[in-house]
Each structure stands twice: as C-alpha cells, then as structure tokens.
Amino acid sequence: MNEKIYEYKDSTDWYVAKWGDFNALGQFSQVSVEAGTIFKQLQESLNVEASEFPLELKILRYQSAYRLVVFLVDIINKERERELELIQRQGAILVVEKGRLLFVHLPNGGIELSEFLGAEEIKDTLLIATRNEGKTKEFRKLFGKLGYTVENLNDYPELPEIEETGVTFEENARLKAETISKLTGKMVLADDSGLQVDILGGLPGVWSARFAGVDATDTENNIKLLHELAMVFELKDRAAHFHTTLVVASPDRDSLVVEADWPGYINFEPKGENGFGYDPLFLVGETGKTSAELTIEEKNEQSHRAKAVKKLMEVFPAWQSKPSLS
C-alpha cells in the first residue's frame, strides 16, 4: 500500500496524518486527550477492524473538535470510498452515512435535549444571498461536507432584490448579507465576486455581472470583454484575476469578512462547457486550461471562492463562539 500524507494547519490546529502500512488505527501524539478520544471513538463507531483504516495521526496543535472530525471524515471518505456526512447542531458534531447516525461528539457540559431534538431540521441553515443556481451549486458542494443545509434566495421569493450600490466588493457583500440577515433572522453568506483585468484598470470588477449592460447574459459579457481586449495581442498582457469577498452576517453579532484572489489570463476565445460567467475565457494560471474546462471538483480545490471559503472556515468557529451583541 502506498503511503499518503494529509495535513491540516491553521493558527490553532495542526494535524498530520499518514495513510499506509500500519498495524493499527490511532497512532497519535498526546497533545490532547480529547483529540485521541475522538479519534478512537470515530474508528469504533464505524464498526470496522483497525487494519481497515491504517492511519497514523499526529496532533501538533489542537483546539477544535469540529476541525478534527472534518479532517478525519474527509480522509476516510477518500481512502475507503465511504459516504460519511458531517452535521453540526447546537454545538454537537454528528457523523451519518446513508441516513444512519454513526458518531456523536458533544461539547463539554452537554447540550439541552429540547434544543437538540426540537427543531424539524437538524442541520443549521446557511442562506446564500444569491438567486444564481450555478453559484449556489458551488457553495453547496463546499459547505455540504461541513454540515450545513444551504439555501438561496430562490427559497424566499418574497424577499426584495438588494441593489448593489457599493463601489467595492466588500461594500456590496456587506449590503446583501446584513440586509437579508435582518429581514430573515438567519445567518446569511453573501459574496461579491468579479473579474479584474490588469490592462483595463481592474475592470469589469464590481460591474462584472453587468459589464455589457443591465441584465446582460454571460455570453454578452464575454463578448464585451473580448472586444475591450481586441488590440491586446500578447497573452502576458492579458493578466487578470478573479476576486471574491465573502461576508457572513448574523443578527446578533458583527459580520465576518474574508477575501481571496485567483490569478490567470484572459484567453482569445471561449473554451469549455462547465462553470458560468467568465469561466470560458479565464485561463487558470499557467495551466493553459480555462476555468470552464475544469470539473467542479477541480475548480472547488483552487478557485477564488474555494480559497475564500477555506479562509472563512479557519476563522468561522471562533466567530460563532463570540458573545452576541444583545
């Protein structure tokens, strides 16, 4: 069996795992007794022999049980083609597979049973402030394994359209997230994303969705961009990047803001059938492939939105645990 190395690292948690020829699951460093207990209980809950999961785990820093369970579940799903799903509710962490509950981790002191069982929907809901099903599909892929039910504005047709009057990505994202959160009382994630082309001074930028005019289609925006770059003949002069600013708003706390970029170039013609927006024109770095030629899995590993979500999840638990403003 070939060895594989997995790693998760941020400012508070650091795990390194090696999948290979070991005699037992659970060779872990004693940085945290809780981490070791979670590791053993998860293996036992799957009702398999230790030899079926030859994983050596080193805990170098530990604070979040949630991050550790996400890390372990992701490895097991990849290496054993399982369909484990993570759900979090009221501070509890659950692992289920095909509708069957396999593992539960409770916070210190437990939780109120009525709070845990009283809700019709066990998953926490994250409302994405968009009606774009393509964008929602990407967020659902990214957040699904983290235990959230993802909705979008199509689930709330009564909500008004929020006019994007900001002149920066953050202003627009804040406007959408905070307004909709106040109207619904829900936790809302809004992004303002756009393409910035260096030689065009950062355009289309915050006007990416309406570069060719109000209600412009993706095709019309792409044609407009190619027209603007018609006299730029060298690929090196067509440098660009996708930018995303994410804002998470909740009625009872200050908003959380993260941002990320995805560098590349603007191709001379559209290629690929996947994605949306400017994906058919955006050449990813030095790969020679457009974003629209990537699978959704490939895109979710490297895109501006994926990078921003990764940053978001590093700071999200600490943000959630802050005292409310009320």
Q: What is the DSSP string of 39-57?
A: HHHHHHHTT--GGGS-EEE
Q: Which residue would you say has higher pLDDT here, 52 or 263?
A: 263
Q: Which residues contact 79 (CB under 8 A, 6 or more apart)?
A: 4, 19, 53
With tokens 């398999």, the residue in question is 48
Amino acid at 227: H
- Residue 24's pLDDT is 44
pLDDT band of residue 29 (cuts 50, 70, 90) is low
Is residue 265 within 8 A of residue 245, CB to CB? The reply is no
314 compared with 293, residue with greater pLDDT: 293
Task: Please give the model's pTM, rounded to 2 decimal places.
Answer: 0.64
Residue 20 has pLDDT above 50, yes or no: yes
Query: In the predicted model, what is the mean pLDDT of residues 121-144?
Result: 82
Taking the CA atoms of residue 266, residue 269, residue 273 and residue 276 in that order, the dihedral angle to the nearest 10 degrees is 50
Average pLDDT on 26-44 reads: 74
pLDDT at 22: 53
CA angle centred on 90, ends 87 and 94, rounded to 5°? 25
Q: Which helix (H) or strand (E) holds 321?
A: helix 304-321
pLDDT at 6 over 60: yes
How much of the chain exceeds pLDDT 70, in percent?
A: 93
What is the distance of C-alpha 56 from the center of its chain?
Answer: 27
What CATH code is assigned to 123-326?
Answer: 3.90.950.10
Map tokens 């024109």 to a residue: 281
How many Cα atoms sit within 13 Å of 111 on the Cβ side? 16
Measured distance CA(135)–CA(300) in Å, rounded = 11
Residue 194 has pLDDT above 90, yes or no: yes
Which amino acid makes up residue 156? Y
Rounded Cα distance between 215 and 181, Å, is 25
Q: Which residues participate in catalysis according to the annotation?
A: 192
Residue type, position 325, single letter: L
